[in-house]
């Protein structure tokens, strides 16, 4: 497994891991908001052992990839272009995309933007439109959302009291060295990056929902949609909507209450995906 970096179209450095095998079919793993490629560690191992080539990246603003400050650099199209840049660099023509939550939204947008479609999509706990009411992101109360937004915009408080959530890499490094145990328990993603993603995706969804639904109705690749029966972050109804829109889709509803399927439902998840890929000879 190689660790690699690439300068994307706007100069943002992206980090990803790559394992190339004799099988030309590559599995592209896209994580959710506030996470990084390591949430897929077990899935990467499982499908690598089955002979698939693998790419798992840290999305811009996450993990070891760059964290741009400007909100416009979190436009959903930018995430799709990042994927396209990696595919071009690695000369990948046959691939499937596995996206969880935010990663699933990006996977769908990629299919809107490019003619070179994946051979299949696997969408976990995701939606094709913004899944929250205004100021109720992540099903939090408006008061908590407002507080977090104010915190994200306060450089003083972030640097001095919440360096693990700031964009300042030096402060982040110092915090990690002093509190290495605590650091492992906290998200690595700057808070401002999280809200930049949320706001950009919300704006895009509001403006382009009809176009998105039209693309999904015409999508002619196999799609596996998996959701948790009691997901409290993204309501399972959004997965059902996707299933109704995409004619060549299959819907699996797992009897769980977790949003993080890649972590909490490994065996069942890997079995469902493996059977799906085998069915379509991928």
Third-level CATH fold of 2-132+208-279: Rossmann fold (3.40.50)
The residue extents of the domains of the chain are 2-132+208-279
CB atoms within 10 A of CB 271: 11
pLDDT value at residue 260: 72
Summarised one tens digit per residue, pLDDT across range 56-65 is: 999 999 989 9
Residue 12 parent element (H or E): none
Q: What is the 3-state secondary structure (H, E, C) of 249-260?
A: EEEEEECCCCCC
In this structure, what token pair is assigned to residue 178? 């002093």
pLDDT value at residue 126: 94
Average pLDDT over residues 4-13: 96
Q: Could you tell me the pTM of the whole model?
A: 0.81
Summarised one tens digit per residue, pLDDT across range 134-173 is: 655 555 556 455 555 655 565 544 444 444 444 544 444 4
Whether residue 2 is predicted with pLDDT greater than 80 in this model: the reply is yes
Q: How far apart are CA 182 and CA 162, in angstroms?
A: 12
Summarised one tens digit per residue, pLDDT across range 188-215 is: 556 677 878 888 888 898 899 999 999 9
Average pLDDT over residues 219-224: 97
Whether residue 176 is predicted with pLDDT greater than 90 in this model: the reply is no
Q: Do 17 and 54 touch, CB atoms closer than 8 A?
A: yes
Rounded to the nearest 10 degrees, the angle between the axes of helix 102-113 and helix 191-218 is 50
Average pLDDT over residues 106-122: 96
Q: How far apart are CA 201 and CA 61, in angstroms?
A: 14
pLDDT value at residue 279: 96
pLDDT value at residue 111: 96
Give 2's DSSP letter: E
CB atoms within 10 A of CB 239: 26
Sign of CA dihedral 75, 260, 128, 104: positive
pLDDT value at residue 97: 98
Sign of CA dihedral 275, 276, 280, 282: negative
Whether residue 99 is predicted with pLDDT greater than 80 in this model: the reply is yes
pLDDT value at residue 125: 93
Nearest one of 89, 82, 88 to 63, comparing CA atoms: 82
Question: Side-chain half-sphere of 99: how many Cα atoms within 13 Å?
Answer: 28
pLDDT value at residue 130: 84
pLDDT value at residue 240: 96
pLDDT value at residue 140: 53
What confidence category does residue 218 fall into, taking pLDDT thresholds of 50, 70 and 90? very high
Which of 114-118, 128-132, 160-164, 259-263 is most confident?
Answer: 114-118
Residue 191 parent element (H or E): helix 191-218
């Amino acid at each position: 497994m190689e660790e690699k970096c690439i300068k994307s179209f706007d100069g943002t450095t992206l980090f990803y891991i790559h394992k190339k095998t004799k099988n030309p079919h590559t599995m592209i793993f896209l994580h959710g908001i506030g996470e990084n490629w390591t949430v897929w560690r077990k899935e990467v191992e499982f499908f690598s052992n089955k002979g698939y080539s693998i790419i798992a990246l840290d999305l811009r603003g996450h993990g070891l990839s760059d964290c741009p400050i400007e909100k416009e650099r979190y436009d959903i199209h930018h995430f799709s272009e990042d994927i396209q840049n990696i595919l071009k660099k690695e000369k990948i023509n046959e691939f499937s995309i596995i996206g969880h939550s935010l990663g699933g939204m990006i996977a769908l947008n990629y299919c809107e933007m490019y003619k070179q479609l994946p051979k299949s999509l696997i969408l976990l706990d995701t939606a094709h439109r913004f899944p929250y009411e205004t100021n109720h992101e992540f099903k939090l109360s408006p008061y908590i959302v407002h507080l977090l937004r104010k915190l994200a915009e306060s450089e003083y408080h972030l640097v001095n009291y919440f360096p693990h959530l700031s964009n300042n890499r030096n402060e982040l490094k110092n915090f990690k060295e002093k509190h290495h145990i605590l650091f492992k328990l906290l998200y690595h993603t700057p808070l401002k990056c999280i809200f930049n993603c949320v706001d950009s995706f919300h704006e895009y969804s509001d403006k382009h929902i009809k176009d998105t639904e039209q693309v999904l109705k015409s999508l002619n690749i196999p799609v596996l949609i998996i959701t948790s029966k009691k997901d409290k972050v993204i309501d399972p109804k959004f997965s059902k909507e996707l299933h109704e829109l995409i004619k060549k889709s299959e819907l699996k509803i797992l009897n769980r209450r977790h949003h993080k399927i890649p972590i909490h439902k490994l065996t069942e998840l890997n079995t469902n995906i493996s059977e799906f890929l085998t069915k379509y000879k991928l």
